[in-house]
């Protein structure tokens, strides 16, 4: 049975966005196949309270598709179809929701631009920090009211900035500037369980502790805490996603390393264990001082 959904729209919308925490699904699109990371489709994940989606993008058969390492044929979902058929309709239905996409992108700027042009309703709906003069991240309410309710981060720095679509533009943020993130794996198999919390991009702790975003004084990077093994099995998730494992990893390793609470708690099989409960507990807790 799925765990009760949590970490949806907060009751208190007046805090800066970096003081909230969200259930985030690793390889959110892989709900089928031989080794899936999730057991639910993205539309079900969103309905159950997931607000962060990790997506891998590859160019295959003339389109930008959601694949993991290798695309097989032309049956992999395209990025524009995900936006048009799932993400944007969900935001239209739940007018309080804010969703974040975390892209691991292997495409070229031209390929991604051509794909995003097929999602014309995306224009004006993505978060663009250039439009904000707030001393910190905008509050949840400010973001909701602005209509910029889709934050898109891209690990591929060359595929960030403005993309023409419809009658306007969509804006994509460079992950390495607007987020910090711990190394992605607890270990390839369950025989290894590495709780250490060091940066995905460098093992120097200072990168996780980075407290400022260039050009946005007072804004601090959002923290993604990865909590999953290299090979996804539900038996891993039974332990990795327990409140005890999550809170111990955070309190004993990630909090000292990053000096803040996670904004995105990234897991496999999000409905297993206590991920929603943990994210809600983080949101309700006082913000960590840097």
Spell out the domain ranges in the chain: 17-284
Q: Which residues pair with 99 in a beta bridge?
A: 150
Length of the chain: 290
For the chain, list residues with pLDDT below 50: 1-7
Q: Which of 253, 252, 229, 230 is nearest to 239 (CA)?
A: 229
Q: Tokens at residue 233, please? A: 């099995």
From CA 103, how far away is CA 285, in angstroms rounded?
A: 28
pLDDT of residue 204: 65
Strands (E), 93-156: 99-105, 150-154
CA atoms within 13 A of residue 27's CA, in its CB half-sphere: 22
CB 59 within 8 A of CB 69: no
Cβ 252 vs Cβ 194: under 8 Å: no
| Predicted local distance difference test score (pLDDT) of residue 202 | 74
Six token digits for residue 234: 């539900």
Tell me how far apart the terminal alpha carbons of the chain are, to the nearest angstrom.
Answer: 39
- The two tokens of residue 20 are 């909230």
Class of domain 17-284: alpha beta
pTM of the predicted model as reported, rounded to 2 decimal places: 0.94
């Amino acid at each position: 049975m799925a765990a009760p959904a949590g970490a949806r729209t907060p009751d208190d919308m007046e805090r800066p966005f970096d003081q909230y925490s969200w259930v985030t699904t690793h390889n959110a699109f892989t709900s089928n196949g031989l080794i899936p990371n999730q057991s639910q489709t993205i539309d079900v994940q969103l309905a159950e309270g997931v607000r962060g989606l990790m997506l891998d993008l590859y160019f295959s058969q003339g389109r930008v598709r959601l694949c993991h390492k290798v695309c097989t044929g032309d049956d992999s979902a395209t990025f524009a179809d995900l936006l048009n058929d799932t993400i944007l309709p969900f935001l239209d239905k739940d007018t309080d929701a804010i969703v974040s996409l975390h892209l691991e992108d292997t495409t070229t700027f031209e390929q991604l631009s051509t794909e995003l042009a097929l999602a014309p309703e995306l224009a004006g709906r993505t978060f663009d920090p250039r439009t904000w003069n707030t001393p910190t991240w905008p509050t949840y309410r400010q973001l909701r009211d602005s209509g910029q309710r889709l934050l898109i981060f891209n690990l591929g720095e060359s595929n960030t900035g403005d993309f023409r679509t419809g009658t306007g533009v969509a804006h994509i943020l460079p992950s390495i500037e607007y987020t910090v993130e711990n190394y992605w794996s607890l270990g390839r198999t369950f025989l290894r369980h590495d709780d250490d919390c060091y940066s995905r991009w460098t093992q120097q702790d200072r990168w996780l502790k980075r407290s400022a975003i260039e050009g946005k004084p007072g804004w601090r990077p959002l923290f993604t805490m990865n909590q999953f093994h290299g090979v996804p099995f539900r038996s891993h998730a039974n332990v990795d996603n327990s409140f005890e494992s999550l809170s111990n990893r955070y309190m004993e390793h990630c909090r000292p390393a990053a000096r803040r609470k996670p904004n995105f708690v990234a897991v496999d099989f999000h409905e297993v264990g206590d991920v929603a409960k943990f994210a809600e507990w983080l949101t309700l807790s006082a913000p960590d001082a840097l």
